[in-house]
Chain A
């Protein structure tokens, strides 16, 4: 490339002396600065020890912007920060101003090995491989393949007992025909008249031991009761039959990723999931009107029992919560 600029030759690294190299006063000053920095670090350590030993947990001090702060936590923290930070600053300042700052040149070697080395390497490997005689010993070759293939199975198999098989757990909930709806928390049964128009209640199915609900049940059972005026609904007759006197019940577990869909906007009658902003339109049977969810929230068929308490008329007709491979969504 003849038309290119030839880089000007200037391989010499110029070394300009620092103030501390030439001026003894500056050198003295730098030394003092380093000492002050080390001193600040020691001060930090003392602050830490003092805060740890002598400041009790219930002391709070007001600091502008930060608000009321726990004195012990702040003292230990600032002490620790100072004690570490200033050691570092002192060392760096020391290195920068007082240690030699002449730059050194190292030469690089090419990483490629010499041809002779490479040749010898190839020979060594070839000899080694030939020594194995895999080509001649067909029987060994085949059995080795079988052994290695099977060898991979046990470690994977051993992980099998990590958990139970899914069976029908994702398809079923604790809602059965006749299960009462109870408040969460509180476990109180609910009368239809307890809900005013615009009211919303989170409910769980009444079970034997309501205080001992496993979390895996709470991960699929929660239902949101919402009361609208019956004329607000725009539902198919079957879906409308599943409501009771304007009260409609949806699974609270998002059909997208399983967060609790609980943001009910009374005016727009939309349900919003705070995780990924899927928006469901309640009057239209929780139809998805925005966001990544692909399916409406499953609706629970509800009615009242002889005492007037709200009960489920049937279990959920489809699995609640996020999708999974075995889910039959048709």
Chain B
């Protein structure tokens, strides 16, 4: 252990740990998603639907109704599809913590299997957008960053800001940041239109274009901070603040020193 701790300040330590963490996440994720895929036959699927129904009755039905028909405070889930469930539950937005203006992204309440079961149950109610297969989501291979950027600026930047940092909507609602969102979840959000977001169907933004979009978002996310600290990439407001606080602040400080008599 002692020998190991010697290296913790090594310049490669950060990247090394990063790779390790990525590997760990990747492995966990692939194991998790692999368990979902182990439901090839009809029997397993119906078992998942049953399990999903149980979870639904316990965790969701008080708002969405016993048969997912919706209620006064929550919409009907009939026909929303598995993708919608996977997005809402997988990002932790559902179940909602409180009935505030909008559901927030948080730590998911349900495990990957439970989410898959819920998704299977809701998908069994009526046809709807399915969860995209991993093979479809190979954005690194099939996407085009520049095209994605153009699509992003046309369709997403008005709400999510030019760098995907999120922005304000009316009455306290907001478009969340896209940083750290899984590619699958971005795809699901596009085809299901969660909450305030409109639907971007495959006909108007083709699956290939969606992958370009994802590739651009991922490129913006991993882009090093060219030119210095970014201050949130939210435009001139923080820049002006910094010019006053740090720029004018430092200069006034030095001017005070300059004009005081030395002792």
Q: Which of B170, B193, B205, B263 contacts A266 (CB 8 A)?
A: B193
Report the tally of A-B residue pairs with Cβ distances under 8 A.
110
Q: How far is the CA of A65 from the CA of B171 in the complex (A)?
A: 32
A166 contacts B by Cβ under 8 Å: no
Of B53-61, B87-95, B117-125, B196-204, the stretch lying at the interface with chain A is B196-204
**Residue contact A70 to B151, C-beta cutoff 8 Å:** no
CB neighbours (8 Å) of A317 from chain B are none
**Of all chain A residues, which has the CB nearest B175?**
A263
Least Cβ–Cβ distance between A65 and chain B, in angstroms: 7
Known: A67-B224, A199-B201, A272-B169. A263 touches B159 (CB 8 A): yes
Q: How far is the CA of A303 from the CA of B193 in the complex (A)?
A: 25
Per-residue contact bits, chain A 184-204, to B (CB 8 Å; 1 contact, 0 not) = 111000110111111111100
Per-residue contact bits, chain B 200-233, to A (CB 8 Å; 1 contact, 0 not) = 1101111001000000000000001111111000
Least Cβ–Cβ distance between A107 and chain B, in angstroms: 23
Main secondary structure of the interface of B (DSSP, over half): loop
CB neighbours (8 Å) of A268 from chain B are 170-171, 196
**Residue contact A270 to B170, C-beta cutoff 8 Å:** yes
The number of residues on chain A lying at the interface, defined by a beta carbon within 8 Å of a beta carbon of chain B, is 49
**Residue contact A66 to B225, C-beta cutoff 8 Å:** yes
Please report which residues of chain A, range 33-76, place their CB below 8 angstroms from some CB of chain B when the two chains form the complex.
60, 62, 65-70, 73-74
Q: How far is the CA of A65 from the CA of B230 in the complex (A)?
A: 10
**Residue contact A69 to B228, C-beta cutoff 8 Å:** yes
Interface residues on B, range: 35 or more
A101 contacts B by Cβ under 8 Å: yes
Known: A194-B204, A265-B196, A266-B198. A101 touches B170 (CB 8 A): no
Least Cβ–Cβ distance between B103 and chain A, in angstroms: 11
Per-residue contact bits, chain B 77-118, to A (CB 8 Å; 1 contact, 0 not) = 000000000000000000000000000000000000000000
Report the 7 A-B pairs with minimum CB-CB distance, sorted nearest first: A194-B203, A68-B224, A200-B198, A262-B158, A199-B199, A265-B196, A66-B229
- Which residues of A line the B interface, CB within 8 A? 18-20, 60, 62, 65-70, 73-74, 77, 92, 96-97, 101, 183-186, 190-191, 193-202, 226, 260, 262-268, 270, 272, 274, 277, 279, 290
A-B contact pairs, 16 of them (CB 8 A): A18-B261, A19-B262, A70-B226, A74-B228, A96-B261, A185-B150, A185-B151, A196-B201, A199-B199, A199-B200, A201-B204, A263-B169, A263-B175, A265-B196, A267-B196, A290-B170
